[in-house]
C-alpha cells in the first residue's frame, strides 16, 4: 500500500489502466461478443435448415 492508502501502480493491479480505457475495452468486448453471437445464430439456423431439407 502507498502512503495515501491506495494501491501501488494505480487501480489495484490493472497495470495503470484508467477507468476510461477500461470502459472502452469493456464496450469493445461486448460489441465483439454480440457480433459473434449473431454470426453463431446465423450458422445455427443454416445448419437447422440443411438438416430439415
**Per-residue pLDDT reduced to its tens digit, 1-22:** 445 555 555 555 556 679 999 9
CA distance to 9, 16, 18, 20, 45, per residue, from 24 (Å): 20, 15, 10, 6, 32
Per-domain residue ranges for the chain? 18-53
Predicted TM-score (pTM) of the model is 0.57
**Grid coordinates given for 23:** 470502459
**Per-residue pLDDT reduced to its tens digit, 24-50:** 999 999 999 999 999 999 888 888 888
Amino acid at each position: 500500500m502507498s502512503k495515501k492508502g491506495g494501491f501501488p501502480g494505480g487501480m489495484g493491479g490493472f497495470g495503470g489502466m484508467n477507468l476510461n480505457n477500461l470502459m472502452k475495452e469493456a464496450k469493445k468486448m461486448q460489441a465483439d461478443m454480440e457480433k459473434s453471437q449473431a454470426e453463431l445464430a446465423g450458422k445455427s439456423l443454416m445448419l437447422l435448415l440443411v438438416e430439415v431439407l
